[in-house]
Amino acid sequence: MKKEEVVTRQQLNQLHIGDLLSLATIVGWDYDREEIQTLLASGSVYGHVNIDKMVISCAAIIPYGAKLASIGMVIVHPDYRGRGLAKELLIQCMSQVTQNTALMLIATKEGRPVYEKLGFKEYSHVTKLLGEGKIFEVASDGYSISPLNKTDIKEMMELDEVAFGSGRELFLKNRIKQAKDTLVLKEQGIIVGYALAVKKPANLVLGPVVAQNDKQAMLLIQTIIATNKGSIRIDVLDGKTSLMKELETVGFQVNDRPPVMVKNLEAFPKRNNSLYAIAAQAYG
């Protein structure tokens, strides 16, 4: 631990992408330049730089309208831990929204004590599952599945806002640009679900997934599994037991189950139970 070295807190930008990628690599997180660009374009990223102008810590806040925000990518370089840098960055992030904004994050074991000291409480969990792409027949059962096009975006955003509990148009537009697969599920011409999948260095990350029921959600997921090779990751919300059992039947296995923590829970927006999988842990 470098106790004596002076570090400076500042807002980070495109010029720091290389350092942020190095930080993520040090802690073993599956990030690439495109993921960091999406974070920077969707919210604000803060960090500390040392005397050599190297970024040695970071944290991001992504606002979703006026009532909800997510904190993610909280990393401190191992050489600089124990100095309270993460807490300082979290306070900086929280200062970017109003005091009655609901804040959420997905906690690591190492970070949880800091979050609890700042008033975050366990709200639920997400289950991380890993599997492989495989070719198999997908029965459409009367639905149509097609790539998202410009004429679908408004309807898809409206569907997502009800599922997520708050509007997140800026993030979704950035995520769609980043995505390898963008699918919409339609019934009689009306969008009833959608799914995105983003290619990362280690995995294809499948999410968000929004659908009216388990059958629709699995149909979207199966379509992506059947058209991709290699490792696939999906982070499923609590309560989606049937979906997880379906995923296990096609070879997916539970890898982790971190807690979702929330501050200002009374302000957390209502959801309609149609959000099945999150985009990624940084985005809540």
Please state the pTM of the whole predicted model.
Answer: 0.96
From CA 172, how far away is CA 223, in angstroms rounded? Answer: 20
**pLDDT band, residue 61 (cuts 50/70/90):** very high
pLDDT surpasses 80 at 250 = yes
pLDDT of residue 3: 59
pLDDT surpasses 90 at 136 = no
CA angle (164, 12, 89) in 5-degree steps? 70
With 0-12 / 13-18 / 19 or more C-beta atoms within 10 angstroms meaning exposed / middle / buried, residue 133 is: middle
CA angle (182, 32, 45) in 5-degree steps? 95
Looking at the domain 128-258+270-283, which fold is it? Aminopeptidase (3.40.630)
From CA 134, how far away is CA 227, in angstroms rounded? Answer: 7
Share of the chain above pLDDT 70, in %: 99
pLDDT of residue 141: 85
User: What residues does each domain of the chain span?
Assistant: 8-124, 128-258+270-283
pLDDT surpasses 60 at 212 = yes
pLDDT digits (tens, 9 = 90+) for 143-174: 999 999 999 999 999 999 999 999 999 999 99
Whether residue 208 is preceded by a cis peptide bond, meaning omega within 30 degrees of 0, is yes
Q: Given this chain, do its domains 8-124 and 128-258+270-283 carry the same CATH topology?
A: yes
Please name the amino acid found at residue 101. T
Q: Which of 138, 232, 249 is nearest to 180 (CA)?
A: 232
pLDDT surpasses 70 at 2 = no
CATH 3.40.630.30 fits 8-124, yes or no: yes
